[in-house]
Structure 1
Amino acid sequence: MKALVDYDRLLDTLDIEATVLAETVDDARPELRVPHAPGLTVGETARHVGSVYRMTLEWIRTGDSPASWQREPGPLQSLRDFVTSGARALVDELARHDPAEPCSTWWAADSTYGFWRRRVAHETAIHRGDVQEAVGQPVADVDDDIAVDGVDEILTLWLGHRLTVQGVVGARDGSVAVTTGDNAWLVRITTGGIAAWRVPLTELDRADAVVHGLPPKVYRWLWGRLPEGAVRKERSPEAINQMWALLRMATR
């Protein structure tokens, strides 16, 4: 499933977001809690992101899901360096490969190096916002094109694919259209399965409910990082609430 933004943009986003995250972590108390991610702290966020970089690099190099990798900073290694060094090694490795080149991933619809550019860029952007919010800084919005691609990723990969692999289905039948700018997706949830795909704006009438807003707002709201009022909702609250609950299950 091809990204909606250039893959070099995604690699640059990964690099920049990792730098901002590391710098923010360096000036913060590790025990500070992330407001919209219950149970997560600044220190845990930095360790998680640095671990993801190393897990991804090991997966790319071995061609399979790794059994072990460095998950914690080494002796005398700061959280900032743990994030920065992991990001640098991963960005350098990804830059050596064409995004279309085949590579082992956890999504059959995209077994390319481009998958990892996209996946880790969004992982980093969301957690960069977490640490900025935790330390009381304004959370900088990603650019609209990156946000739109992130909306596509969370709906098609996390909600539509990950829950299907886990055998999760809906408690009732319902559909939600998610729109931002000139882009739209239809999420269909049934007692038999879950699917999400891109649709023309003309197909919004097919949905039981609609969620819409500015790209960065919809992006962060879908990841559970913004309150209910950050987006506009129409029609069936039940359909939207079910999608919301399933998103939290998909992304935990």
Structure 2
Amino acid sequence: MTGRALIDHDRLLEVLGAEGELMADTADGAPPGLTIPSRPTSTLADTIRHVGGVFRMVAARLRGGNGPVRWESTPPPGGALVEFLRGGLHDLVDELAAHPADEVCDTWWTLDRTYGFWRRRMAHEATMHRIDVQSAVGVEVLSVDEGVAADGIDEALTLWFAHRLSVIGVSGSAEFRVAVRSGDRVWLVSSHGDNKAAWRASPADAEKAQATVSGDPMVVYLWLWGRSPFSAVRITGDTDAVAALWALLRLATH
């Protein structure tokens, strides 16, 4: 295992392929105007265009080193949306599989400048949007295994909360320290003005937090990514601190 992930990067590449195919299979034949429940302003077609475009953008970035010249988010004339998604998926998986996970490449996180970053990032991108598509179509929303969910929790906190907020220029006066517990893992999440941080912690460290969010890995994974309601997790301690964390996560992962 290399980079920042909690699980093997070969497993993450498998997750990307399987989740992307499941998303495509679920969307195939479904009305494109269906609403995404967790994002009422987005439709099924919007989601498929977005994910297909992201897959193509990342593959182009990896091949070219400096990113694509333009964002490709629309199928060519006469092209089907689902095939646009599948084509982007296959292109990306092939590109990632052609390089060891620990090989250096361009990313947007200084703590992980490897192909493993993209295996992880795209695995969770595919998983969350597969969940969106299944929710929109009205079929059973399938869970992922606990290891994948725990890695998604870690990514949401250490990459999106601790790093992405500063990248997009979000600042504020919120101050809190919240513990996130799931399975046998603990994270501490801290906000002090413009300084946002999240790190893997011990159970003893969690005692220093104002509040604790806890739940099964899949529950917490969905909660952090805004795919379940605020009340889906167990909250002890200062609810206002957790609400501040929740609000910042919505900005980070929007």
Give yes or no for TM over 0.5: yes
1:138 alignment partner in structure 2: 140
Structure 2 letter corresponding to 1:27:
G
Partner of 1:215: 217
When normalised by structure 1's length, the TM-score is: 0.97
Check whether the contact 1:182–1:201 (CA below 8 A) recurs between aligned residues: no
Corresponding residue number in structure 1 for 2:186: 184
Give the 3-state SS of the residue equivalent to 1:196 in structure 2.
strand
How many residues are paired up?
252
**Aligned mates of 1:167, 1:49 — CA distance in 2:** 24
Residues in 2 aligned to 1:48 and 1:18: alpha-carbon distance in whole angstroms: 13
1:201 equivalenced with 2:199 (yes/no): no
Secondary structure, aligned partner of 1:83: helix
Asked whether the 8 Å contact 1:180–1:215 carries over to 2, the reply is yes
Q: Report what 2:109 is aligned to.
A: 107
Distance 1:8 1:102 in 2: 16
Q: Give the percent of matched residue pairs that are identical in Structure 1 and Structure 2.
A: 48
Q: TM-score, normalised by structure 2?
A: 0.96
Amino acid paired to 2:35 = R
Output aligned runs, 1:15-164, within 5 Å. 15-164=17-166
**48-57 or 171-180: bigger deviation:** 171-180
- Asked if structure 2 preserves the Cα contact closer than 8 Å seen for 1:5 and 1:146, the reply is yes
| Distance in 2 of aligned mates of 1:77 and 1:243 | 41
**What's the secondary structure of 1:184's corresponding residue?**
strand
Gaps of 5+ in 2: none
* Aligned partners of 1:32 and 1:41 also within 8 Å: yes
Counterparts of 1:20 and 1:26, CA distance in 2: 10
Q: Which residue in the other structure is 1:173 paired with?
A: 175
Q: For 2:84 and 2:168, locate their aligned partners in 1 and report how far apart those are by CA, in whole Å.
A: 31
Q: Aligned equivalents of 1:203 and 1:56: distance in 2?
A: 37
Q: Does structure 1 retain, via aligned residues, the 8 Å contact 2:173–2:194?
A: no
State the Cα RMSD in Å. Answer: 1.1
Q: Distance in 1 between matches of 2:140 and 2:231?
A: 18
Q: Distance in 2 between matches of 1:169 and 1:228?
A: 22
Amino acid at match of 1:215: P
